[in-house]
Amino acid sequence: MRDTIDLEVLEGVPSPELGNQRDVLVYLPPSYRGSRRSYPVLYMHDGQNLFDPATSFAGEWGLGRAMNAAARRGHEGIVVGIPNMGEERISEYSPSHQGPGYVTFLADTLKPLVDQRFRTRRSREHTIIAGSSMGGLISLWALFRRPESFGVAGALSPSLWFANGAIFSELDRCPFVPGRIYLDIGTLEGAEHVANARRMRDLLSRKGYRLGRDLRWLEARTGRHDERSWGQRFARALPFLLAAG
């Protein structure tokens, strides 16, 4: 039997912080329609790559199926898929360019809208920000820069090399933020990227995150820098990311 994926579209959500607007996808868990429960929320970048191969750049994550499977194991959540803006993607996901405005849009404009429209668990402990590549980079940055909004981050193959590795010194200067972090890399992405991910793992460990507890690390032996690899790894990460829910 084919999975039924319950998706809603919030059309033309404006961003006064960025001066643009976009349609936002909202996945609702299987029990949502028939209950009065509230759910943790995952805010995820590159929303067009999550659910539908017709809209994705190079394959989709199969996230709706993964979320339904997680729900059958007792881990349910709402997913808010925020599409990137094409040519503006790198700038919006860059902490040194439009990234601060983008994260402010998520925290101060989009999150209140989602909390108003849907039954959400609004505390930071139940608010997850996650993405891959540049989306992984901005997710890590957001956890430390907006800790009142986000308490969990998922960083898949984060672009830690960006801006000459500025994220390392920036996070090193930040105070410890209580929360949970999922960090991964695929060994087939290349030695430099694997080394950068290990360096970030070690930095976070020194900062006070405990491997196997509030810091989950995966070095995938056959992992690549592509949507299929990220979808497979993210499906396995969901119980950790949704644990507080």
What is the structure's pLDDT at 224? Answer: 85
**What are the backbone dihedrals phi and psi of residue 220, each rounded to the nearest 5 degrees, phi first?**
-80, 120
Burial class (CB in 10 A: 0-12, 13-18, 19+), 7: middle
User: What are the 10-residue block averages of pLDDT along the chain, 245 residues in total?
Assistant: 82 96 96 95 94 56 89 95 94 96 98 98 97 97 98 98 97 96 96 97 97 96 86 93 77
Dump pLDDT digits (tens) for 127-150.
999 999 999 999 999 999 999 999
- In which residue are the tokens 């980079």 written? 137
Q: What is the pTM of this model?
A: 0.94
- Between CA 47 and CA 144 the distance in angstroms is 22
What is the structure's pLDDT at 245? Answer: 46
What is the structure's pLDDT at 3? Answer: 73
What is the structure's pLDDT at 2? Answer: 57
What is the structure's pLDDT at 148? Answer: 97
What is the structure's pLDDT at 244? Answer: 61
Distances (CA, A) of 203 to 168, 170, 174: 8, 11, 11
CATH 2.40.420.20 fits 6-241, yes or no: no
For the chain, domain boundaries: 6-241
- b (16+ CB within 10 A) / e for 150-178: bbbbbbbbbbbebeeebbeebbeeeeebe
Q: Decide if 17 contacts 108 (C-beta within 8 A).
A: yes
